[in-house]
Amino acid sequence: MLPGVCIPHGDEMSFTTCAHINLDHLADNIRAIGQKVKPARVIPVVKADAYGHGALPVVRRLLQEGYDMFAVAHLKEAMELRDSGIARPILIFGRLFPDEIPQAIQAGFRITLACREDVDWIRQAGQDLPAYVHVNIETGMGRIGLFVDQDPGFFDCLTRSGCCIWEGLYSHFATADETDRTYADLQLSRFQNVVSLIRKYPGAPRMIHMANSGAVLGRPDSYFDAVRTGILMYGHYPSAQALRTIPVRQVMTLKTFVAHIRRIPERYPVSYGRQWMSAKNTKIAVLPLGYADGVCRRMTNTGQVLIQGRRYPMVGTITMDHTMVDIGEDPVTVGDEVILWGESSHGTLQAGELAEKIGTIPYELTCGVSRRIRRVYTGDHPESG
């Protein structure tokens, strides 16, 4: 044992590294979003394991709050929810291929269409049930979506296919969270033109949706019949430029503990590559998590943690399993709780602030928390489907 370091026993210490997920914050956030956008409905986005928060517990709580349609990226994500008893409609953003389509139709998933070939694949699947489909319109994202001018006969093809129920039409903003509204205005105008165009078709969709989290905050003209909210629901603003028109609280708190305290002399290096060297005799707290857990290497000599309500800098290269913090001469002890982002009784660290420091977005931080980190839930509700 280090001289002068006391290791407490019993309830005085909790050797726990976990992602604490506060489902009450989730519920509060989505209620606030719903109030902002009504009468439009809210489609919660739970792809990527609900942005690292755990899709099944998140969906179950949202069902309790009255939300009855969800969105994911891939068939596998939708099937995991269905196999866990979630019976509500699930929109799949990503393209489905011929071997996936029969399963998606039988499960009642909402299938995204972006070209005529998608309709052909559904027809060729030869299922005894119709496919519920949402058409993704390319308006400027440049990723997935139908260029209407490249296939002006697409909507005729769709409405005459006999195998699809056309439930929705949507698009996706590329810059809705930026202060310069020019490109978002252009995208919205393009989408509105398509919305006007499809009104003449029999069976035109009743669910028009375009707004993502950035647009929910600052583009009421894009709400249409529904909005899709992801990162905002989890308590983060999509960018530093995004408007703060809805107050939200972080749903995830990533926390660990001080595993070891070491005293190092002046001008002594810490970690791989000697990327940091002590300016004076100091104490280093070692935390038992690293980049394998979601503390990315870009936080090296840049990130901060919260211990006993005070911020301390991460020092030295982040390693696979450990992160080092310079605590100076402060009375930090082994077992003290450490907050990497989120809330505690001693204060708050915003994931968005950390993300901005290292040149990324809060999405990447929460999605990057690995399966090695246990999720602990509060505000959980009984199972429901």
> Over 80: is that where the pLDDT of 265 sits?
yes
Q: What is the mean pLDDT of the chain?
A: 94
| pTM listed for this prediction | 0.93
Which of 253, 257, 252 has its CA nearest to residue 323? Answer: 257
Instruction: Please determine, for residue 242, whether its predicted confidence score (pLDDT) is greater than 50.
Output: yes
pLDDT of residue 222: 98
Mean local confidence (pLDDT), 139-168: 96
Tell me: cis bond preceding 39? Omega within 30 of 0 counts.
yes
344 beta partners: 347
pLDDT digits (tens, 9 = 90+) for 332-362: 999 999 999 999 998 999 999 999 999 999 9
The residue-averaged pLDDT of 250-264 equals 97
Residue 78: its pLDDT value, please?
A: 98
Tell me, yes or no, if 272 is annotated catalytic.
Answer: yes
Q: Which of 38, 272, 280, 357 is catalytic?
A: 272
**Please, which pLDDT band fits residue 1 given cuts at 50, 70 and 90?**
very low
Burial 84-110 (b: 16+ CB within 10 A, else e): eebebbbbbbbbbeeebbbbbbebebb
Give the lowest-confidence range in 1-15, 31-45, 129-143, 193-207.
1-15
Strand blocks (E) in 163-289: 164-170, 207-209, 226-229, 252-257, 260-264, 269-270, 276-277, 282-287
353: enclosing H helix or E strand: helix 351-357
Is 132 in the active site? no
Q: Residue range 42-57: average pLDDT?
A: 98
Percent of the chain whose pLDDT exceeds 70:
95
Task: For residue 20, count other CB atoms closer than 10 A to its CB.
Answer: 20
Q: What pLDDT is recorded for position 14?
A: 61
CA dist 240 and 270 (Å) reads 32
pLDDT at position 383, please?
52
| Predicted local confidence at residue 203, as pLDDT | 87
3-state secondary structure of 166: strand
Place of tokens 């609280």: 249
Contacts of 33 (CB under 8 A, 6+ apart): 42, 216, 227, 229, 232, 233, 246
CA-CA distance, 319 to 271, in Å (whole number)?
Answer: 8
**One of 47, 237, 283, 312 is an active-site residue; which one?**
47
Q: Write down all domains in the chain, each with its CATH number in brackets.
A: 10-18+251-378 (2.40.37.10), 23-229 (3.20.20.10)
Residue-wise pLDDT for 174-197, tens only, equals 999 999 999 999 999 999 999 999
- Tell me the C-alpha distance between 17 and 287, whole Å: 9
pLDDT confidence of residue 9: 38
Quick one: average pLDDT of 191-210? 95
Q: How confident is the model at residue 278 (pLDDT cuts 50, 70, 90)?
A: very high
Which residues lie closer than 8 Å to 375 by C-beta, 6 or more apart? 18, 19, 21, 53, 54, 57
pLDDT at 13: 46
| pLDDT value, residue 202 | 86
Q: Where are the alpha helices (DSSP H) in 38-179?
A: 47-51, 55-64, 75-83, 101-107, 116-125, 154-159
Q: Quick one: pLDDT band at residue 15, thresholds 50, 70, 90?
A: confident
